[in-house]
Amino acid sequence: MAPRVRLLLLFVIWTLADPVRLGSDSEGDGGWQQRGPREPAAVAEEERCTVERRADLSYAEFVQYYAFSRPVILQGLTDNSRFRALCSRERLLASFGNNVVRLSTANTYSYQKVDLPFQEYVEQLLHPQDPTSLGNDTLYFFGDNNFTEWASLFQHYSPPTFSLLGTTPAYSFGIAGAGSGVPFHWHGPGFSEVIYGRKRWFLYPHEKTPEFHPNETTLSWLQNIYPALTPSARPLECTIHTGAVFS
């Protein structure tokens, strides 16, 4: 019998780690942290993690216990230090600032797309999520990649070595402001690696439907709906940091 592929309803909320000083690259933020040292983070660090972490996972174990049944956080699986260095704010703007990127709205029904130069997005729209904004008014760069124009960057990325038979990999690269995120959506098997900052994940199994408004942002859900959830209604969740791979 063929293994049953898991379907998860999930969303991701992006947050940026606190550097020692504004724009500092020495602490590993790549120059992407654009708020002052005393300004509070858009989303506080959350230590609660209900997803298993593995640093010594074999491919056989991955296929048997996780690939088709439950999520896992893989640590030490790849070394993308070279790719990470190329993804600093300064280097990306120098190499791709004039490239036109396609932005998406943060809701589940309009799927509006907006094209503009990457430098304009970074300098004018890449800011912490406004808690009062609607999803339709929130734009971020995520997933709509021109692999020809960005080939000189993507060729340095080392993907996870765990592949699944019968699947074809498709890369998705994105940059978003602190506190922003994609809305709940269905997803099959895949990998997601953090290059800078941190990402907080929320996942429901396919048989559960979370309460969320399709035009409210993920930050709004986190602030207004999540705190009132009973333990049985809460999703699986975890925050992953630079270098970790979520699957």
pTM above 0.85, yes or no: no
pLDDT in tens, 134-186: 888 888 888 787 888 899 998 999 888 887 777 777 778 888 888 888 878 77
Residue 12 lies in a domain: no
Q: Residue 93 — pLDDT band, cuts 50, 70, 90?
A: very high
Residue 48 lies in a domain: no
Residue 22 lies in a domain: no
Domain harbouring 90, CATH code? 2.60.120.650
Residue bearing the bigger pLDDT, 191 or 186: 191
Taking the CA of residue 200 as centre, how many other CA atoms within 13 Å lie in the half-sphere pointing to its CB? 21
Give me the domain span that covers residue 226.
53-246
Residue 32 lies in a domain: no
Residue 28 lies in a domain: no
Is residue 108 over pLDDT 80?
no
Q: Residue 119 — pLDDT band, cuts 50, 70, 90?
A: very high
Q: Which residues of 117-153 are buried (b: 16+ CB within 10 A; e: fewer)?
A: ebbebbeebbebbbeeeebbebbbbbeebeeeebeeb
pLDDT in tens, 47-71: 678 999 998 889 899 889 988 888 9
Give me the residue label for tokens 């088709």.
68
Residue 6 lies in a domain: no
Mean pLDDT of the chain: 79
Is residue 8 over pLDDT 60?
no
How many domains, in total, are found in the chain? 1
